[in-house]
């Protein structure tokens, strides 16, 4: 194995492991003697410095680790800051409510209740881990059944679905009728 190939293997191992790796473990993995590995690591460290790269190899006793250089801390910090989590849209919340109360339920059933397509809302709920597939309905096309999961309960501070508030369908109709009246009275 030539020197460049050895350096490439060491760099790949240090990168993939992301924790300090002992010289003994490196030698065992690569099947090369300790002196040869240490020489390669020292050369790599010099190359990283000379080429002004963003990485460095740090040594801690008999361990080595690939790390970013401290001078790039601000850039890395901004990358790793938690992204502002987007909330759920009204449409997605409506879809989630229908699934929570009617589960297991198919997409077609949700759409018939909402009166609009729900593909995007269901996809968003699955991405956020609030809704999951619960099997398939035994009828033509075998539509997917959706339901909430343990993360849904955790997110909304519930211990079980029985803690969901009661829904009185007449109250909902009255509320909707009032909204319609408000719209037309403007």
H or E stretch at 167:
none
Structure tokens at 154: 């955790």
Model pTM above 0.75: no
The 3-state secondary structure of the chain reads CCHHHHHHHHHHHHHHHCCCEEHHHHHHHHCCCHHHHHHHHHHHHHHHHHCCCCEEEEEECCEEEEEECHHHHHHHHHHHCCCCCCCCCHHHHHHHHHHHHHCCEEHHHHHHHHCCCCHHHHHHHHHCCCEEEEEECCCCCCCEEEEECHHHHHHCCCCCHHHCCCCCHHHHHHHHHHHHHHHHCC
**Interval 89-112 mean pLDDT:** 93
The average confidence (pLDDT) of the chain is 86
Which 3 state secondary structure label does DSSP give 22?
strand
> Given the structure tokens 């300790």, which residue do they identify?
34
| Residue range 90-184 in CATH 2.70.98.20 | no
* pLDDT tens-place string over residues 15-31: 999 888 999 999 999 99
What whole-number distance in Å separates Cα of residue 77 and Cα of residue 48?
21
Starting at the earlier edge strand, list the strands of the sheet with 105-106.
105-106, 144-148, 131-136
Same fold, 3-80 and 90-184: yes
* Cβ atoms of residues 125 and 156 within 8 Å: no
Residue-by-residue DSSP string for 50-95: HTT-SEEEEEETTEEEEEE-GGGHHHHHHHHSPPPPP---HHHHHH
* Domain range list for the chain: 3-80, 90-184
pLDDT at 81: 75
CATH architecture of 3-80: Orthogonal Bundle (1.10)
Reported as a single tens digit per residue, the pLDDT across 33-87 is 999 999 999 999 999 988 889 999 998 888 999 999 999 999 998 888 766 566 8
For the chain, how big is the Rg over CA atoms in Å?
A: 29
């Amino acid at each position: 194995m030539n020197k460049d190939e050895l350096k490439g293997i060491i760099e790949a191992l240090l990168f993939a492991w992301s924790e300090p790796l002992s010289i003994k473990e490196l030698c065992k993995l690569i099947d090369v003697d300790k002196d040869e590995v240490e020489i390669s690591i020292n050369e790599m460290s010099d190359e990283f410095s000379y080429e002004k790269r963003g990485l460095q190899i740090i040594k801690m006793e008999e361990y080595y680790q690939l790390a970013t250089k401290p001078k790039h801390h601000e850039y890395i910090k901004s990358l790793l800051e938690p992204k502002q989590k987007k909330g759920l849209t009204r449409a997605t919340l409506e879809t989630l409510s229908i699934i929570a109360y009617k589960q297991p339920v198919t997409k077609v059933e949700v759409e018939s209740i909402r009166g609009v397509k729900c593909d995007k809302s269901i996809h968003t709920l699955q991405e956020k881990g609030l809704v999951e597939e619960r099997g398939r309905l035994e009828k033509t096309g075998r539509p997917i059944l959706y339901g909430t999961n343990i993360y849904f309960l955790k997110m909304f501070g519930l211990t079980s679905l029985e803690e969901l508030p009661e829904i009185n369908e007449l109250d909902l109709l009255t509320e909707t009728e009032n909204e319609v009246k408000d719209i037309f009275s403007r």
